Amino acid sequence: MVSTGPVGVRKNSGLQYLPSASAGLETRSPNQEILPLTARVNDQDHLEIGGCDVATLVKQFGSPLYIVDEETLRTACRQYCSAFSRYYPKETLVLYASKAWSCMAICAIVASEGLGVDVVSGGELYTALQAGVSADKIYLHGNNKSQEELQLAIATGCTIVVDNWQELHDLTEMTAGSSQPIRIMLRLTPGIECHTHEYIRTGHLDNKFGFAPEQIEEVFNLVSQQQSLKCIGLHAHIGSQIFELQPHEDLAVVLVQWFKKAIACGLPVTEINVGGGLGIRYTEADDPPSIEAWVRTVSTAIVKACSEQQVPLPKLLCEPGRSLIGSSTVTAYRVGSEKSIPGIRKYISVDGGMSDNPRPITYQAVYRAVLANRMSEPATEIVTIAGKHCESGDILIKDAQLPKTQPGDILVVMGTGAYNYSMASNYNRLPRLAAVLVKDGESNLILQRETYQDLIKQDRLPERLLANMQ
């Protein structure tokens, strides 16, 4: 494709002009823009990502369609790693929180950039292993791990982040008599509040994750007596889509205090995992810290706390998800029907909705959109973008500023890499979307679109019902 320069999104759309995709990728944070880093307008006035025309991708792979910009994802990975090398004087490991988007291609990309993977189920663990991620860089979380999941983790040799008493007792029984102790970390609840949606706050005391502060000493003493369990570190996580830095400083103080207590109890702890939670920019009003600012804050806080508590610097781990994958991806839809209610609202319907992006109906998440096939046309209408599901609440964006749309237009919703595919469903028996990875003008299918036959492949008809089909 021939590019005419950076994406000039209309000022009256509320979005900002994007720098050239080739300028400053090493230092520019993906959080500072809404479209992926390589986004630009080509000579057909179409949105182009990764050197690929979005309209052409939709024609080739169908719609709706997840489009992942490999350069944006890799850049975010490198920003975390390079920032830690500058600000933290000891070993670090960045773990990709794969719950944001777990598939083999995404896991393979982050692993190739030197990251490990944080998983929260047997399925995510299996996916990471199949993608070639080394087991010693996989950490298994979860507040209710099954026996089968724990057995898989033990067999493959990944680190298990123990969340509660039941899991601790299960592991003690499962590993009794084992000659090789398994690596565990302990998840603790720090009691730190942060300003984000209540469903994605995990650090405050009233939540389902981790051991409570009053249980810590008892947990440490019990684990120290188990020869089959090797506790290598402590973990805490305070939430998701966080724009504040102060809670991460507070977390560092609390974790180091517990780290010191763990050492005093005889635990061989050498690692601290501060979780993730850095937010991204979904709209022009969002102003998250850069990846570098977040890493600097966390690193400085851990170093300071260790100095004050007079404990050795641990290996420092973190587990970003959204801030790695979120800004890399857009979802392309085809515009269909419209409905105008005079004096109230105009609805524009697209061929997807809450089954491919449940965040608006679940978290009241806000997104922005553009028409990928008519990028330079001015925004002249305020419309509500509705999905096609049989739910009045199936609304992707309220009050979107767009040019006058026509059936068949390609509408692109930005920032859909995190918790869209991973939370997708077959509601109304819609097949799940395809996903393509784009880079340097090449597009590769990384998720095949489901078919109607896929929808029924797990269905079973009892013998007595077959007569009804005659």
Catalytic residue among 77, 107, 158, 390: 390
Spatial neighbors of 284 by CB under 8 A, at least 6 apart, are 14, 15, 16, 34, 368
The closest alpha carbon to 117, from 136, 95, 135, belongs to 95
390 is catalytic: yes
The closest alpha carbon to 163, from 212, 114, 102, 204, belongs to 212
Q: Which two tokens stand for residue 322?
A: 């959204």
Where b means 16+ CB within 10 Å and e means fewer, 48-68 reads bbbbbbbbbbbeebebbbbbb
Task: Using DSSP, state whether 380 is helix, strand or coil.
Answer: coil
**Rounded Cα gap, residues 446 and 444, in angstroms:** 6
Spatial neighbors of 64 by CB under 8 A, at least 6 apart, are 331, 332, 333, 334, 350, 351, 352, 356, 433
Residue 242 DSSP class = B
* Cβ 424 vs Cβ 401: under 8 Å: no
**Rounded Cα gap, residues 362 and 366, in angstroms:** 11
Spatial neighbors of 109 by CB under 8 A, at least 6 apart, are 70, 73, 74, 77
Name the burial class of residue 427, with classes exposed (0-12), middle (13-18) and buried (19+) by CB atoms within 10 angstroms of its CB.
middle
Residue 246 phi/psi, 5° resolution?
A: -55, -40
In order of 45, 175, 267, the CA distances from 7 in angstroms are 10, 57, 54
CA 406 from centre of chain: 33
Spatial neighbors of 319 by CB under 8 A, at least 6 apart, are 94, 95, 96, 97, 118, 139, 237, 273, 275, 276
Q: Give the residue numbers marked as catalytic.
A: 390
